[in-house]
Amino acid sequence: MDSRDKDRTIETWLVRLCGRVQGIGYREACVRRAQAMGISGWVRNRMDGAVEVMLQGSPEQLADMCKWLRDGMSAALVNELEVTELHPFPRFDHFERLPTL
């Protein structure tokens, strides 16, 4: 991250997805997409069958990523996407896959 990135407005969103989102490579695809978009944060499966994603970036980046989370992977069937904006939140420096919670 260069100094220009530190000056831009960033937001932190916690996204919870329900539906057919586990066991199909969703987290790996999510990591690749977030990294390609310059978004930092993490993704993990939850024991209840949901996927949880912490996203950090510009509002435009996060909105685009949420569109991808809902419709970007043909094997997934997202029935519910819930976004919670978090204020304030420390900055992440990359995007990674976490163990199941």
Residues annotated as catalytic (active site), given as ranges: 27, 45
SS3 of 60, please? helix
Q: Residue 38: what residue type?
A: G
Nearest residue to 44 via CA among 21, 63, 67: 21
Number of H helices, E strands in the chain: 3, 5
Q: Which two tokens stand for residue 59?
A: 């509002």
